[in-house]
Amino acid sequence: MSCKKDNEGEGGPHHTELYGSTPKTSLPIVYHSDYNITFMGLEKLHPFDAGKWGKVIHFLKEEQFITDENIVEAREASEQDLLVTHTKRYLNRLKWSLVVATITEIPPLIFLPNFLVQRKVLKPLRTQTGGTIMAGKLAVERGWAINVGGGFHHCSGDRGGSFCAYFLFERVEGISTATIIDLDAHQGNGHERDFLDDQRVFIMDMYNRHIYPRDAYAKRAIKRRVELDWGTEDSEYLQKVELHCDGALNEVRPDVIVYNAGTDILDGDPLGGLSISPHGIVKRDELVFRAARRRGIPILMVTSGGYQKKTARIIADSILNLHHQGLIGPEREGLSSAATSPTSGPGSSGSALTAI
């Protein structure tokens, strides 16, 4: 892919600390307290709830579904990890607070020294990225995984990144194709630009056609495009989710599903423009997991967008429903039909894919 030209010739697959061993007693639910962005109240200047991930975990603990001991702690992605998909030029640009302020849409960051921006803003995002990479491997090994963060689908190789699929192709034997099911309210133009000419990746994207980013160039990468109108409600929405998820997975059987489960489709979301109820979101996630389970395809879920305080409770309720329906939990692990052994070293067969 053109977004990686800056890094061509820099060597084969690197050593990563993101694929450490995980106890079998752990659920493949990935989280770290560093996901949450809190610094002098600046996070309140963006509509996104920058602490929602910790709230999800709190609710799941309250329901006694998880403990600190039975979930997987995410690790921060290193610069070498990020270079699997990002250009060096892009990572260098993040050393300027002005650039970070523009990307995050928090203008006061301009006035902060970059070492603080790195520690308080970018480290949480790098840790969520590491969590997605870790959850991708766990999904292949165990049949499912959830990163309680992640889902940065507006980013691309020279602006942000589709990290998970790159790492799966590079590091996990038997993974050569992936389907991205993106059900965030916004078009996922970042991963679409990254995988525009990549036949290994099938993208289904269902979004509000009238809102950001309306990226016509990126739409060329979407193999199954479902455009919604303002105020779409549960009945129509869920019918389309079921129809098109089944259609996408019947058209191409992937080795893994990456599911972008944005909650900005919720009625009243200031940016999503749709009218889906909390029950509709819970049912949507159930439909996607059922479609994966029927076919024995590993699935990784990331939580993506959602700009209301109540979305954390809805995400937790959805995860609990998946468990109650028997779609996740210890009894669902080991159902993957894909090979699950990580490649053995830095000279493994994925080397040509690091410079995509």
- Phi, psi at 258, each rounded to 5°: -105, 115
State yes or no: cis peptide before 213, omega within 30 of 0.
yes
Residue 66 three-state SS: coil
Using one digit for the tens of pLDDT, what is the confidence trace for 13-69? 667 888 778 898 999 999 999 999 877 666 565 556 778 999 999 999 999 999 999
Half-sphere exposure of 150 (CA within 13 A, CB side): 35
The DSSP element (H or E) to which 155 belongs, if any, is none
Half-sphere exposure of 311 (CA within 13 A, CB side): 29
CA-to-CA distance for 149 and 53, rounded, in angstroms?
6
Query: Three-state secondary structure along 241-253?
Result: HHHHHHHHHHHCC
Query: 143 pLDDT exceeds 50?
Result: yes
Using one digit for the tens of pLDDT, what is the confidence trace for 250-276? 999 999 999 999 999 999 999 999 999
What average pLDDT does the chain have? Answer: 84
Listing from the earlier edge strand, what are the strands of the sheet with 72-73?
A: 72-73, 29-31, 144-147, 299-302, 256-260, 178-182, 201-208, 224-228
Query: 343 pLDDT exceeds 70?
Result: no
Query: 194 pLDDT exceeds 50?
Result: yes
Query: 232 pLDDT exceeds 50?
Result: yes
What the block records as the tokens of 321 is 């429903």
Orientation of helix 163-171 relative to helix 123-142, angle to 10°: 50
- List residues with catalytic annotation: 154
**So what's the pLDDT on residue 8?**
44
Using one digit for the tens of pLDDT, what is the confidence trace for 176-192? 999 999 999 999 998 89
CA-to-CA distance for 45 and 43, rounded, in angstroms?
5
CA-to-CA distance for 174 and 160, rounded, in angstroms?
26
Contact 178, 256 (CB under 8 A): yes
| DSSP line for 172-184 | BTT---EEEEE-S
Amino acid at 238: L
**So what's the pLDDT on residue 324?**
98
Orientation of helix 234-251 relative to helix 278-295, angle to 10°: 20
Amino acid at 311: T
Q: What's the rounded mean pLDDT across residues 63-87?
A: 90
**Residue 74 to residues 29, 108, 126, 155, Cα–Cα distance (Å):** 9, 29, 10, 20
Contact 266, 281 (CB under 8 A): yes
What the block records as the tokens of 156 is 């691309």
CA-to-CA distance for 298 and 28, rounded, in angstroms?
12
Q: What's the rounded mean pLDDT across residues 217-244?
A: 98
Pairing of β 224-228 and β 201-208: parallel
Task: Report the C-alpha dihedral over residues 240, 232, 282, 164, rounded to 10 degrees.
Answer: 70
**So what's the pLDDT on residue 127?**
93
Query: 160 pLDDT exceeds 60?
Result: no
Q: What is the CATH number of domain 27-33+49-338?
A: 3.40.800.20
CA-to-CA distance for 37 and 105, rounded, in angstroms?
14
- Residue of 264 and 171 predicted with greater confidence: 264
Domain locations in the chain?
27-33+49-338
